[in-house]
Structure 1
């Protein structure tokens, strides 16, 4: 009798273990008509073709052994912003789908033509800025078709989303991240904030979106995710198109911290020890002249309202304009090279909380 009771109890325990494992297990993940098994990684070249041009987008799918959320990540939306692209390569080596809960859709390099063509801001095939082209157009130019593919195949399948950027070729930049926030989407905004603060950046920016803006085309990659009620974060880390190792590591560390926060990495929650300075207001200084820009300032400098930030000259050295700070704060990014055109942004200043 005791033997029967023991066997019955052992069977019940085994059944519970099997049911628990089954509950945690994932079904295969479908991407571009390809099935990815749980606990595996798959590299996929997504072809993009227009009437005039053709390219591809390299995407890596990490399909975890256990169930969990889908995290979409894009790198290289601007092909001259190297630390995010190198960070994506590093994440490819670091992330083990056997230790992952959920699924990661990682766009290793969204804008291959801009990367290979060493082209700041725009895709040289059609002259368009990919980060001004969302949600895209399946019948448009090559850039618009890339945006459409990212929108439908990555963003739309994600529960959370991160777009990774850096300072492009002429842009000096101080590392920060940012989340989208709107009174119209309080829960999505809250989750985005938690994502950003978990990543360990010492500056976090609030991208405030008014309700009426949600009814217009997103334009930006990460904002497209927010428009679709997906918590989304931007990373800005790197400067002047330099493939910096420190900046690359900062991005990788932030993404690993995010995976822990989302309980996708070993199912362990992690809270960043860094309490970031949160910036809710930014001001932009624009040039009123075309010519050369001179400054002693650099990204990250603290400035005071009324301070001389630099000046512009014509092509004969005559001063055209003195640049004066309109607010006190920290320089988030700025033009770090001499050429300047009328109407271009000279500096973006984050107003520090009092």
Structure 2
């Protein structure tokens, strides 16, 4: 096993190295904390990325705790772990957006080497981390306003069946009861990466997503579920030995429908994430700023509520629900 060179640092087999990667754009600056675990035996390079959205705390806490238990001497391969991809958002307690330039890191990939601070963060993540990996996992959760049902996801494009199949196998191995297919389109060739994990797909690197956690709270059960899923993935990719604790027959959801608000005001939900719903069911209602009811929100399809807005403020056009299509006959 040879040493692993990362950011001009040489990491010997069976050891780990933690470092802060600087990102500077004019007067704006930040760092990206990264730990590299270089195994004692040969194997693939896995990138684990947490904190692309800094208010999504369960992945960030899970990554920190996972790093404390990961033993490079027992690894067959290398793990590049990004503890917090978006430190300004994390420290500023900002939902989705970087307070330094107002951009969403998960909407700007591949970024720009000479762009704003967020665009440069994406450029570094894409070229210095994702580009060094054989596999990538991007870990997310529900933000402060989002109730969310935990699930895994992968990208499915028809012109890259082998890449899509590797992603499907990784997603199933994570052990979540639902696996969401993203994409389901002919090709990604003429599009930008935009999203962190899709940037890996754009580069021909198998990638998966986790969504686990709600309201930005670092609840212990969600942190534990993420850590178990990461262990399952390492076993699946043969970086670690052992037996994964998995649900080997997740339900594959190939289509989702978003429900957006037609009004500005207060939103009063009447369901929770994870509930099974039928077309036409009342999901909640919207009032104006004085409390006058403006509209009921009805389910447009049969399915399961994957995530939803659960706090009162709502703007016109803002997302209220994401519903995974499940026929009534297939619902428990």
Which of 175, 178, 195 does residue 150 from structure 2 map onto? 175
Displacement of 1:213 in angstroms is 3.4
Tell me the TM-score normalized by structure 2.
0.96
1:153 matches 2:131: no
Where do 1:8-47 residues align within 5 Å? 26-47=1-22
After the TM superposition, which segments of 4 or more aligned residues of structure 1 sit over 2 Å from their partners?
Answer: 208-214, 268-274
Q: What SS is found at the alignment partner of 1:265?
A: coil
1:227 aligned residue? 202
Q: What SS is found at the alignment partner of 1:35?
A: strand
Contact 2:101 2:118 in 1 (8 A): yes
Which of 322, 326, 329 does residue 352 from structure 1 map onto? 326
2:43 aligned residue? 68
2:255 aligned residue? 281
Where do 1:246-285 residues align within 5 Å? 246-266=221-241, 268=242, 270=244, 272-285=246-259
The structure-2 alpha-carbon separation of the partners of 1:296 and 1:73, relative to structure 1 and needing over 3 Å to count, comes to same
Alpha-carbon separation, structure 1, partners of 2:158 and 2:107: 24
1:95 aligned residue? 70
Alpha-carbon separation, structure 1, partners of 2:186 and 2:101: 32
Contact 2:158 2:187 in 1 (8 A): no
1:216 aligned residue? 191
Structure 1 residues 237-266: Cα deviation after superposition (integer angstroms, max 9, x where no partner): 000011111000000000001100111003
Structure 1 residues 60-101: Cα deviation after superposition (integer angstroms, max 9, x where no partner): 000000000000110000000000001101111111000000
Q: What SS is found at the alignment partner of 2:189?
A: helix
Displacement of 1:270 in angstroms is 4.6
Displacement of 1:214 in angstroms is 3.0
1:301 matches 2:254: no
1:50 matches 2:25: yes
Displacement of 1:316 in angstroms is 1.0
Structure 1 residues 171-217: Cα deviation after superposition (integer angstroms, max 9, x where no partner): 11010010111111111111111101011101110112424433211
Alpha-carbon separation, structure 2, partners of 1:200 and 1:216: 30
Alpha-carbon separation, structure 2, partners of 1:75 and 1:336: 23
Alpha-carbon separation, structure 2, partners of 1:127 and 1:237: 25
Q: How many residues get paired?
A: 328
Contact 1:38 1:65 in 2 (8 A): yes
5+ residue gaps in structure 2? none
Contact 2:156 2:184 in 1 (8 A): yes
Tell me the TM-score normalized by structure 1.
0.91
Alpha-carbon separation, structure 1, partners of 2:17 and 2:65: 16
Contact 1:222 1:234 in 2 (8 A): yes
The structure-2 alpha-carbon separation of the partners of 1:98 and 1:192, relative to structure 1 and needing over 3 Å to count, comes to same
Structure 1 residues 111-152: Cα deviation after superposition (integer angstroms, max 9, x where no partner): 011101000110101110000010111101111110000000
Which of 82, 87, 95 does residue 120 from structure 1 map onto? 95
Alpha-carbon separation, structure 2, partners of 1:113 and 1:147: 13
1:320 aligned residue? 294
Larger radius of gyration: 1
Contact 2:157 2:187 in 1 (8 A): no
2:175 aligned residue? 200
2:303 aligned residue? 329
Alpha-carbon separation, structure 1, partners of 2:189 and 2:147: 30
CA RMSD between the two structures = 1.2
- Which has more helix, going by share of residues? 1
1:85 matches 2:60: yes
Displacement of 1:273 in angstroms is 4.2
